[in-house]
Structure 1
Amino acid sequence: MHAFLSPQMFSNNDEAVINKKLPKELLLRIFSFLDVVTLCRCAQVSRSWNVLALDGSNWQRIDLFDFQRDIEGRVVENISKRCGGFLRKLSLRGCLGVGDSALRTFAQNCRNIELLSLNGCTKITDSTCYSLSKFCPKLKHLDLASCTSITNLSLKALSEGCPLLEQLNISWCDQVTKDGIQALVRCCPGLKGLFLKGCTQVILRTGVGCEYQQITDDGLITICRGCHRLQSLCVSGCANITDAILNALGQNCPRLRILEMARCSQLTDVGFTSLARNCHELEKMDLEECVQITDGTLIQLSIHCPRLQVLSLSHCELITDDGIRQLGSGPCAHDRLEVIELDNCPLITDASLEHLKTCHSLDRIELYDCQQITRAGIKRLRTHLPNIKVHAYFAPVTPPPSVGGSRQRFCRCCILL
């Protein structure tokens, strides 16, 4: 491509050789492979290239994250006017200067938008979701993470105007309550992914004001019952949820692939047994600090979840070598399992590494603060899996006292093996 754009091939006029040799249709096709920066540079070459570079068909997918600090509302408005109905995917992640007014203009002009990321656009409010609801009925993926002014009104608006919605990220939107979620799932039956990380506060309206309470089972059970196509769910940090959620997922969401439940400390083997026996398509599970689970959960996952690729069990202190043995002998271990995280699992020993040596797809294992894991055990594992990344920590041996009665100082170290 750089050779194609060499100075010998064009000059600052429309009589350049390349414009004579190649038809406009072919030039337009070539331009469709260029990134935003290159397109803008090409637009400055000549009048004909300006028309080609700024043709709406070249602007179907735009990611402005690399330019987030320079993006203001007028930039988004100009892009929307240029792209019009061609634009399908737009990322404004981190663009703090973009607000409701610009996004209303965007929604009016880009009515075929399917994927929109507003992650970290802290200026936007419910007004933006009203605009999307009114003008963008084809919207499928919407990321509103860290848009802290978003409330239930946004979810109700989206449920009314965006029935094709498949994935919604409202992590850290702590004004959203179960009422908003209920409105969403009633009208968006195709919802496959819902991300609620950090939504630990639910506003409950009372006669005298607002009372704050952590998310409980009711709202999440509503999601499960209303979204039978659900594939991804993140509720990490929702410490009050119980096995009732896992039962509801098992009964209603058989297509579930990604489940993030870190720090949900009330979940037990009973709930994960119900989940595993019904959700056979699970691929990624984050169970960090689910402190009540034991080897029983790993037995059920090894039997019923043959597609498991990523599993985090960090700080699950009841997990033992026998649970890893069961997992290592399951169908997922031989050709699927890629990552297993076992940080701060004090009962894990080198025997677990022996059980994992037949997991030929294993790419990474985390073993920080597993005090019974040794360098020798890791070395034996690497003889079977030479390309594996092993992250481990070894506390240095305390040296004997020196002649003068003082001790040398040793630094703690993290080791990538």
Structure 2
Amino acid sequence: MHAFLSPQMFSNNDEAVINKKLPKELLLRIFSFLDVVTLCRCAQVSRSWNVLALDGSNWQRIDLFDFQRDIEGRVVENISKRCGGFLRKLSLRGCLGVGDSALRTFAQNCRNIELLSLNGCTKITDSTCYSLSKFCPKLKHLDLASCTSITNLSLKALSEGCPLLEQLNISWCDQVTKDGIQALVRCCPGLKGLFLKGCTQLEDEALQHIGAHCPELVALNLQTCSQITDDGLITICRGCHRLQSLCVSGCANITDAILNALGQNCPRLRILEMARCSQLTDVGFTSLARVFIKLSLFEGFLVYVLGSLLQSLSHCELITDDGIRQLGSGPCAHDRLEVIELDNCPLITDASLEHLKTCHSLDRIELYDCQQITRAGIKRLRTHLPNIKVHAYFAPVTPPPSVGGSRQRFCRCCILL
């Protein structure tokens, strides 16, 4: 683009050579590939280019995150008036100064919006969702993460006016309860992604509504939803057979029953995050591995599971080497397992690394605070997987009680191997 900006191309009378040689349609096509910053710069070159750069057709996708986050509401209003019905995707992530009034004007002007990110726009309330419901029926993706004033009323409004919704992120909107989830899923049957991280009031009944009404669900994040139990998650497994990604890290009440339910009902699962689920044992992971191996061998299709599966088993303190052996022994694991996190799994030893050495696609392994893992074991793993990234640390040996009295705290040195 900078090649166009040579001095010979412009004169004081605004008759640039490029404007004479190229038709407006072609210039508009060129401008359509530019980002927000470059478009704004081009708008300052000449009056002709100002008209071209600010043409609504060039402003179908706008992301202000890397451009300017301290914008005021009037900027959003001006953008909406300029873009109008052309705008399809807008990210205002982190724009703390944008509130309900500006977004009402935006919704009225940009009725074809399909993707909207308001992540971290902490000033907005249920009023914004009422505006989106009233004016933006084509909305498919909406990110309201960390908008802590959002309540069940927002979900009810979205369910009434945005039936095409496919992905909703309300992480850390901790006022949301089962009533809001029920209203949402009953009227938005096409939901594929639901991100509920930090929605601490959600209980099993909310998951039962999801399992009953979201057959298209592909991704579900329930991190730190500490009240949910096996009962709610089993309903998800039975109703959401297309599930590919599940995060239940920090859900301390779940047990091995979930792993068995996933194995029986969710053959497309690729990513499973279960950090700090301290009740999980080898029995559950053995069951999960056996089911997927059986599916891959006898049902005539390639199972995606174990490709990034078990991305996080951190703080699963009952997992032993035998559980890792089961996970690493399947045919899918050899070519699909990419990341495994075993932080704070105290029963894991070097034997687990031996079980993983045939997983040729393994790219990274986390071993922080696995005190039975040794440098020698990691070195042996590297002879089979030379490119693997191993994150671990080793602490000085703690003196026995007879030497130092009571067990003492020690400083750990974090190293990247």
Q: TM-score, normalised by structure 2?
A: 0.79
Deviation (angstroms), 1:230: 5.3
Counterpart for residue 6 of structure 1:
6
Segments of 5+ residues of structure 2 without an aligned counterpart are 215-225, 298-308
- Say whether residues 1:205 and 2:201 are aligned partners: no
TM-aligned CA deviation for residue 166 of structure 1:
1.0
Number of aligned residues: 391
Matching residue of 1:313? 313
Per-residue deviation at 1:352?
1.9
Q: Is the contact made by 2:63 and 2:92 (CA closer than 8 Å) also made in structure 1?
A: yes
Q: For the Cα contact (< 8 Å) 2:211–2:235, is it kept in 1?
A: no
Q: Percent identity?
A: 96
Deviations 1:62-87 (A, max 9, x none): 11112454211111111111111111
8 Å CA contact retained: 1:193, 1:232: no
Q: How big is each residue's C-alpha offset from its partner over 1:24-67, in whole Å with a ceiling of 9 and x where there is no partner?
A: 22221221121111110000101111111111121111111124
Which whole-Å CA distance do the structure 2 matches of 1:149 and 1:31 have between them? 39
Instruction: Output the CA distance in 1 between the equivalents of 2:315 and 2:285.
Output: 17
Three-state SS of the structure 2 residue aligned to 1:362 is coil
Contact 2:186–2:213 (CA<8 Å) still a contact in 1?
no
1:358-416, CA deviations, whole angstroms, 9 ceiling, x for partnerless residues? 22211111011111222222222222222211101011357999999999999631111
Matches within 5 A, 1:110-189: 110-189=110-189
8 Å Cα contact 1:367-1:393 kept in structure 2: yes
Structure 1 residues without counterparts, runs of 5 or longer: 278-296, 304-308
The alpha-carbon distance between structure 1 residues 218 and 206, as it changes in their structure 2 partners (threshold 3 A), is closer
3-state SS of paired residue (1:20): helix
Segment of structure 1 superposing worse, 34-43 or 65-74: 65-74
Q: Deviations over 1:263-285 (max 9, x none)?
A: 455567787788778xxxxxxxx
- Deviations along 1:208-239, whole A, 9 cap, x unmatched? 999xx945678767777776655555454344
Aligned mates of 2:14, 2:188 — CA distance in 1: 51
- Alignment deviations for residues 290-316 of structure 1 (CA, whole Å, 9 cap, x no partner): xxxxxxx9989999xxxxx45211111
Take 1:404 and 1:343, find their aligned partners in 2: how far apart are those partners? 28
1:392 is paired with a residue whose SS is strand
Distance 1:208 1:245 in 2: 17
Secondary structure, aligned partner of 1:358: coil
Using a 3 Å threshold, how does the CA distance of structure 1 residues 205 and 84 change in structure 2: closer, same or farther? closer
Judged with a 3 Å threshold, the aligned counterparts in structure 2 of structure 1 residues 221 and 147 are, in CA distance, closer, same or farther, namely farther
- Bigger Cα displacement from structure 2, 231-240 vs 187-196: 231-240
The 1-side partners of 2:285 and 2:188 are apart by 27
Going from structure 1 to structure 2, the CA distance change for 1:51 and 1:67 (only over 3 Å counts) comes to same
Q: Return 11-20 or 350-359, whichever deviates more.
A: 11-20
Does residue 1:375 correspond to 2:388, yes or no? no
Distance 1:276 1:22, change over 3 A: farther
Taking a change above 3 Å as real, the CA distance of residues 270 and 171 of structure 1, as seen in their structure-2 partners, is farther
- Indicate the SS of the match to 1:137: coil
- Deviations along 1:93-149, one digit per CA (max 9) or x if unpaired, are 111101111111111111111111111111111111111111111111111111111
Tell me, yes or no, if the aligned pair for 2:165 and 2:190 is still in contact at 8 Å: yes
